[in-house]
Chains A and B, each alone.
Chain A
């Protein structure tokens, strides 16, 4: 596709359940990022994938959060045993190369009830 695609666009889940969020980056973009955004706030970095390199997981808030990127393309962010404080918009971005050129998806709005 022409842009970064994220699914689902909205997810409501019960506290304690696991959720998976999906990101389809722009074809050919080697770098993929996950960010989290609370209402009306800036973006909090979560994790970064670059080609075949080990991902930068320094932003993951706890071990309940994990992410994979299969075949250098699609990425899945998994949150286990969700808590109410996990409620936020989760944004994915991809980038072709240096230095800039980030393209963001529309995000997944996660609500934990």
Chain B
């Protein structure tokens, strides 16, 4: 059972279109991260959201954390070919030792065609 469910799994759009990627769970999270991964590289952190209802903007990317802290979305406005990549949401799973490990969703593969 996946802790984090991402949708859609694949998305192919034309340059200039808008899109939204979702990350959902039945669990409540203290925080959630979004990463982008390009072919042949490791994931790169885009943003961390920690407060229910929080909205963060990174240029054309808008990240939202649900009020109940069970879900998050990533919205891209006027997508560009450079946005192509694998988008991953992740959350910390806290251990008894008060340290944590990142648990990832399955990812959304985005292709933006020129």
**Chain A interface residues (CB < 8 Å from chain B):** 4, 31, 33, 35, 40-45, 48, 50, 53, 56, 91, 93, 98-102, 104-107
Q: Quick check: A40 and B86 within 8 Å, CB to CB?
A: yes
Q: Quick check: B101 and A41 within 8 Å, CB to CB?
A: no
Q: Quick check: B102 and A45 within 8 Å, CB to CB?
A: yes
Q: Quick check: B42 and A107 within 8 Å, CB to CB?
A: yes
Interface residue B24 (Cβ < 8 Å from any Cβ of A): no
**Chain A: CB-nearest residue to B90:** A43
Partner of B43, one of A43, A50, A98, A99: A43
Partner of B105, one of A31, A42, A45: A42
Q: Quick check: A50 and B31 within 8 Å, CB to CB?
A: no
Q: With the chains together, A101 CA to B45 CA distance in Å?
A: 8
**Chain B interface residues (CB < 8 Å from chain A):** 6, 31, 33, 40-45, 48, 86, 88, 90, 92, 95, 97, 99-107, 109
Q: Quick check: B40 and A43 within 8 Å, CB to CB?
A: no
Given contacts A33-B101, A50-B97, A99-B92, contact A41 B106 (CB under 8 A): yes
Q: Quick check: A42 and B42 within 8 Å, CB to CB?
A: no
Q: Quick check: B99 and A31 within 8 Å, CB to CB?
A: yes
Contacts A43-B43, A101-B45 known; 11 new A-B pairs at CB < 8 A: A31-B99, A33-B102, A41-B107, A45-B102, A48-B99, A53-B97, A56-B101, A98-B100, A104-B42, A106-B42, A107-B40
Q: Quick check: A93 and B42 within 8 Å, CB to CB?
A: yes
Most A CB contacts (10 A, CB to CB) among B33, B99, B109 go to B99
A-B contact count (CB 8 A): 60
Query: Chain B nearest CB: distance from A31 CB in Å?
Result: 7
Q: Quick check: B100 and A104 within 8 Å, CB to CB?
A: no
Q: With the chains together, A53 CA to B98 CA distance in Å?
A: 12
Q: With the chains together, A41 CA to B9 CA distance in Å?
A: 9
Query: Chain A nearest CB: distance from B28 CB in Å?
Result: 16
Q: Quick check: A43 and B100 within 8 Å, CB to CB?
A: no
Q: Quick check: A42 and B107 within 8 Å, CB to CB?
A: yes
Q: With the chains together, A39 CA to B114 CA distance in Å?
A: 24
**Chain B: CB-nearest residue to A59:** B101
**4 nearest CB pairs, A to B:** A104-B42, A42-B104, A42-B106, A43-B104
